[in-house]
A and B are shown apart, each in its own frame.
Chain A
Amino acid sequence: MLAGHKLNTILDIVKTSSKEELAWINGYLSGILAGEKGPEILEKPALQKKKITIAFGTETGNSKSVATTFAAKAKSRGIIPKLVSLDQYRLSDLPKEENFLAIISTHGDGEPPEAAKKFYDHIHLNGFTIPKMNYGVLALGDTAYPLFCKAGEDVDQQFQKLGAKRIVPLQKCDVDYEEPAQIWFDQFLQSFDDLTPVHVQEPGIIKKSAGKKTYDGVLLAKTVLNGRGSSKQTFHLEIAAEELDYQPGDAIGIIPENNESIVDEILSQVQANAQQTLVFKNETSTIYELLRSRLNISCLPERIIKQYAAIIDQPVNEIRIALLDLLKTYPMPQPQKFIELVQILEPIAPRLYSISSSPSAHEGEVHITVANDKFFYKEEQRSGLCSEFLSRLPVDTDLKFYVQKNNSFRLPAEDKDVIMIGPGTGIAPFRSLVAEREATGSTGRNWLFFGDHHFTTDFLYQTEWQNWFSTGVLTNISLAFSRDQQEKNYVQHKIIERAAEFFEWIENGAFLYVCGAKQPMSVDVEQTILKVIAEQGKFTVADAEQYLNNLKEEGRYCKDVY
């Protein structure tokens, strides 16, 4: 249909144009046909900016702070970062992800942080792939624990399984994670810049860690906080140490020793030579030394039990058991194999205790509040290793510990209100918070929810709360003693009783803190808080959940549960 000269011009242009130019002309013409643009020349469209998702799973805030610095760095490099906490991450987005960084710590016995649980479980489901994804995993952990950075390892491997492309090796960080984290991120950025990703298969080597600062403490005082006739035994320990550095909300980590008599029994059980030396974690020490203060013999996990079954090669059906009980119930046919057994044992994991003292009020000391952790093995009542160790520890003896920071459990500005929910030993950090607020003259109001078995015997730190209440430092105190009446009465019931006031405090910007038993307390309390928000704020369930999420985001809903 075109007149000959026109046709020739076009054919000429087409012949002499590159692919891109043709595409552009194509777009240009279709633009004209769509009647948008006038016939003026348009410049070449800019190249698309790169996007990256930086997702973190944190318990005590370290992974979050790392992720945040990464995001800032990325921006400055012209990359568009999406910073998200794994509990906020929309799982259905995974297959669409092109560039994905996971920064995740390990908690419990090699488990992911509470907030990363949903994500962690999701990627362990099969039946979907994420081939588009280029990823890298940074694992935070602590070599003091048997399963170092386990959660990070798992995420890294699962991503591979799901078909994602690893563009930087997995980096496992010990407690001094900042530096290795930065190096790792720079490495990532390189491979990210040039468009053909480097394929590094072997996992990143653990950077030798300078370790954490251990304090040489001395036990100053120890008292039982429960009155006569109580079924409970809660110890208040005061520990002195030099150059202490902690904040309210932090915990201390203690590595307990095993009970001497049990070690002796084990040794005689297997007729082992206590003085024989072995290499453990590239240090040589005697078997006695190892059993006494290095190796976990009080509660072997299933993974160790399996290995033991292999050694004595006969089935052992236990999920967790103390070494001595194991040796008694499933004796070793050849005692010389004991060395083999010792080699597979894991280090004693540290136990954490929320600090119940305040740096400003109790200078040079940390206080902790330790419940004697009783349990039954068959019909026999026993106590947990560390709580028993501490309960036996004489005053004036040395006690090593380290400070476990908790950046996601911090006091707000001094004029902000605080609601503290801490039944049982959950009260520990709140003694610290309130003592700190008193010492620093904070003006914000303080409301404590506490509960335990009986008013007369189990009101932990009663006289101190009374003083704080009478001086006005403590504005409200709501108490729930579960066994003083027929029907059980818990902190959540107290929250309901004063729902209106509770909600009004939150609306006023109060910060919410929950500390103590993860199950069932923290769950029930959270349900109750949601209920109160929904009822008082006239919200739907979904909106109430959003409301609570926002509080979390703003750091106004902090949990320290165990």
Chain B
Amino acid sequence: MSDSSNLSPIEKIKTSSHGLRGTLKESLQDEITGAVREDDHALVKFHGMYEQDDRDLRSERAEAKLDKLYSFMVRLRIPGGAITPQQWIAANHIAGDYSTGVIKITTRQTIQLHGILKRNIKPTLQDFNKVNLDSIAACGDVNRNVACSSHPNTSPLHEMVHAYADKISRMLLPKTRAYQEVWLDEEKIAEPESEIDPLYEDRYLPRKFKIGIAIPPDNDVDVLTNDLGLIAIIENEKLIGFNIAVGGGLSTTHGNPNTYARLASVIGFVAGEENVLKAVYEILTVQRDFGNRSDRKLARLKYTFDRMGEDAFKKELESRCGFQLEAPRHFEFTDRKDKYGWQQDHKKRWHYTLFIENGRVLDSEELALKTALFRIAETGKASFRFTSNQNLILSDIDPKDKAVIENLLEEFNLNEHTKNASAIRKNAIACVAFPTCPLALAEAQRYLPALISKIEPLLAKYQLNEQDIVLRMTGCPNGCARSYAAEIGLVGTAYGHYNLHIGGDRQGLRLGDKYRENLDEESILIELDNLFGQYKACRNENETFGDFAKRVILV
């Protein structure tokens, strides 16, 4: 535990925030600026928002004696990433009324709206509230959106496992009603006891906390990149419990050797819902009490875990749980990719997985994607499931309704669009980066599509176009698109420059290694050309690019 003398500034802000209220109400009254007050900047995150500004416009606005163009990004809390068509319709309208209009599907199965001006935050959150959607704890030093294997045909037990995402999310919500008071204008309730928070107390966690749930053999959620990974163990059609994996986290900081990307370690197995939830809860309390509160760069559970050591961590956890963890059960992951196109589940319901490049839902000349999805939602015959690969599953479609959806997919060319996208494109993800992400060093989602168009010919040159190679790009080392857990990872270092990581596996059990630094586009293409050449020439049968790179290139 870190002594209170050198607590990071954020700690002070949290404890003196009156349950995350801070001066938010006052901030909203400040007419002279589009930003919130300094301390509130950290607090809005706990309410699911980030204050941002359009980085493209900074210099020209300074020139014009105008303040930065501040706006807010709202990230919803959607455990397991499933919403109703009515909720999608609402999101569609809200995006149009108050944000840039683009709906961004994230790598954690939720959606974000960007460019919301301060005065529009309340209307935005109030309109979402009308359809039972909120952004509570979607960001901040709390448990984040709980991810879960998205495709219902993964297992007949998918629904049962998926339900955990929501249970866990609700169990780990902060108790403060600040969100309702500040954004929804609800009355302040009399007795403050109702706000006493045994889990988060008044200091919350030292850092963000992420939980993912995987249903083998699918690992679309990249379960081991989470602080806490739950791997469903199903034996003869029964869900008997979960393997518990802790200490995942990808972010590193350029030039800070103490930071590292790490996959979670499977430390045991827990049976039965009650114990599973108990274990989850106590893992958070251990992190709350043992996590580093002075250096936020070393505050994630992965560092707490490595500092304590597996045994000590396990002991502490078991004593808090009041039961022992059992030995981990055997499990196997085959891959992380989305199952594009039509799939049917055990209940005979249909699901269509739609390719959405970088998760950006908007209408463009080529594709009226947003309109199409709106029309599909209007039929009320398909629910919407977001995948951790930033794609969308139009799901739970009754066989008799399949035709209706199919026709719309045809009418708007979505089927063509998904079919025609190359394998490398369909398996790629990129983070947001410019212009909204304040931490971006290089472009990502605005650039990757164009780069892929230049990579595709290289693959074709070696007849590798059918390969499901996992390519991921992030604009900085934070790894929001999990670029370290990819067969080819591009990590932004400076504008137009990227580190090249290779050797990650296809299933998400092995991270890649840094292979080259600060490459510009030309060098990236030269490197890949030559890597693909070697792969084509020397790979073993069915050897993935990632495995080949690990075996041959990196030794």
Contact = CB atoms under 8 A, between A and B. Distances in A.
Interface in A238-269: none
B65 interface: yes
Contacts of A457: 66
A228 B32 contact: no
A484 B119 contact: yes
Given A227-B61, A228-B57, A479 B32 contact: yes
A225 B117 contact: no
Given A228-B60, A456-B34, A469-B32, A463 B119 contact: no
Interface string A199-238: 0000000000000000000000001111110000000100
A70 interface: no
A485 to B, nearest CB: 8
B31 interface: yes
A508 B554 CA distance: 79
Nearest to B33: A466
Interface string B115-132: 001010000000000000
A224 B61 CA distance: 10
Interface of A: 223-228, 236, 455-457, 459-466, 469, 477-479, 484
Interface in B55-69: 57, 60-67, 69
28 contacts: A223-B64, A224-B64, A227-B57, A227-B61, A227-B64, A227-B66, A228-B60, A236-B65, A455-B34, A455-B117, A455-B119, A456-B34, A456-B69, A456-B117, A460-B65, A461-B65, A462-B32, A462-B65, A462-B66, A462-B67, A463-B62, A463-B65, A463-B67, A466-B32, A466-B33, A477-B31, A479-B31, A484-B119
A113 B16 CA distance: 60
B62 to A, nearest CB: 8
Q: By CB atoms of chain A within 10 A, which of B57, B66, B69, B117 has the most?
A: B66
Interface in B364-396: none
Nearest to A225: B64
A377 to B, nearest CB: 29
A477 B64 contact: no
B116 to A, nearest CB: 12
Contacts, number: 48
A466 B57 CA distance: 19
Contacts of B67: 459, 462-463, 466
A198 B119 CA distance: 73
Top 9 A-B pairs, shortest CB-CB distance: A479-B31, A462-B67, A463-B65, A462-B66, A461-B65, A227-B66, A225-B64, A463-B67, A477-B32
Interface of B: 31-34, 57, 60-67, 69, 117, 119
Contacts of A226: 64
A30 to B, nearest CB: 77
Nearest to B56: A228
A6 to B, nearest CB: 95
A484 B61 CA distance: 19
Contacts of A225: 64-66
A204 B61 CA distance: 56
Given A456-B117, A484-B119, A227 B32 contact: no
B63 A459 contact: no
Chain B interface secondary structure, helix, strand, loop or mixed? loop
Contacts of B66: 225, 227, 457, 459, 462-463
B183 to A, nearest CB: 18
A226 B64 CA distance: 7
Q: By CB atoms of chain A within 10 A, which of B31, B57, B61 has the most?
A: B31
B32 to A, nearest CB: 6
A478 B67 CA distance: 17
A459 B69 CA distance: 12
Nearest to B63: A223
Given A477-B32, A478-B31, A479-B32, 5 more contacts: A223-B65, A227-B57, A227-B69, A463-B66, A466-B32
Contacts of B62: 463
B60 to A, nearest CB: 7
Nearest to A481: B31
B312 to A, nearest CB: 49
A388 B62 CA distance: 24
A486 to B, nearest CB: 12
Q: By CB atoms of chain A within 10 A, which of B33, B65, B119 has the most?
A: B65
Q: By CB atoms of chain B within 10 A, which of A461, A463, A469 has the most?
A: A463
Contacts of A228: 57, 60
Contacts of B61: 227
A478 B30 CA distance: 10
Nearest to B119: A484
Nearest to A477: B32
Nearest to B54: A228
Nearest to A448: B32
B505 to A, nearest CB: 46
Contacts of B34: 455-456
A463 B57 CA distance: 15
Contacts of B65: 223, 225, 236, 460-464
A555 to B, nearest CB: 30
Contacts of B64: 223-227
A469 B33 CA distance: 11
Contacts of A455: 34, 117, 119
A460 B66 CA distance: 7
B238 to A, nearest CB: 57
A460 B60 CA distance: 14
A469 B32 CA distance: 9
Contacts of A464: 65
Nearest to A431: B65
A192 to B, nearest CB: 57
B130 to A, nearest CB: 19
A461 B66 CA distance: 6
Nearest to B70: A456
Contacts of A227: 57, 60-61, 64, 66, 69
B61 to A, nearest CB: 6
A525 B65 CA distance: 27
A460 B119 CA distance: 19
A466 B33 CA distance: 8
A469 B30 CA distance: 11
A463 B62 CA distance: 8
Contacts of B60: 227-228
A455 B69 CA distance: 10
A455 B33 CA distance: 9
Contacts of B57: 227-228
Contacts of B117: 455-456
A231 to B, nearest CB: 15
A465 B31 CA distance: 12
Nearest to B117: A456
A473 to B, nearest CB: 13
A546 B33 CA distance: 39
B34 to A, nearest CB: 7
Contacts of B69: 227, 456
A465 B32 CA distance: 8
Contacts of B32: 462, 465-466, 469, 477, 479
A469 B57 CA distance: 24
A10 B352 CA distance: 135
A460 B67 CA distance: 10
A55 B32 CA distance: 45
A484 B242 CA distance: 52
A236 B63 CA distance: 11
A461 B61 CA distance: 11
A264 B384 CA distance: 66
Nearest to B68: A463
A59 B63 CA distance: 36
A460 B65 CA distance: 7
Nearest to A474: B32
Contacts of A479: 31-32
A354 B235 CA distance: 83
Contacts of A223: 63-65
A464 B64 CA distance: 11
Nearest to A455: B34
B122 to A, nearest CB: 13
